[in-house]
Amino acid sequence: MTTIKATCHSCGEVDLTPEDILLRIGTGHGSNSYGFSCPTCTQFVEKPADERVVRLLLSGGVMPTLQDIPAEILEPKSGPVITHNDLLEFHQLLASDDWFEALTEKRNSENA
């Protein structure tokens, strides 16, 4: 069993298991946090979790809880993944004057 050391404001360093820790992952900058009920004083301790802490907790087996995730992220996706080359090609296309026509022609020829 993995032991994770955390610090309670009142009791100092405490030993926890991955199940004791609530890891919240949000989409905004600095919106990740973790919390636990201190095994000594039972006080709930909550702290911000930077990327290093999140990685550490995940590698220790903590199951994250997702917060404020836009519904689009959970939608099923189909088709090929967009690559950097696709983005570059799109960027170059947008620089031309007839980009809209070029896109609608491409779409029409793909559907034909």
Report the interface residues with Zn ion, using CB under 5 A: 8, 10-11, 38, 40-41
Closer to Zn ion by Cβ: residue 31 or 40: 40
Cβ at position 9, least distance to Zn ion in Å: 7
Pick the closest to residue 31 from 69, 86, 58, 60 (CA basis). 69
Cβ at position 12, least distance to Zn ion in Å: 8
Closer to Zn ion by Cβ: residue 40 or 92: 40
Cβ at position 40, least distance to Zn ion in Å: 5
Euclidean distance between CA atoms 30 and 108, whole angstroms: 44
Bridge partners, residue 46, by sequence? 35
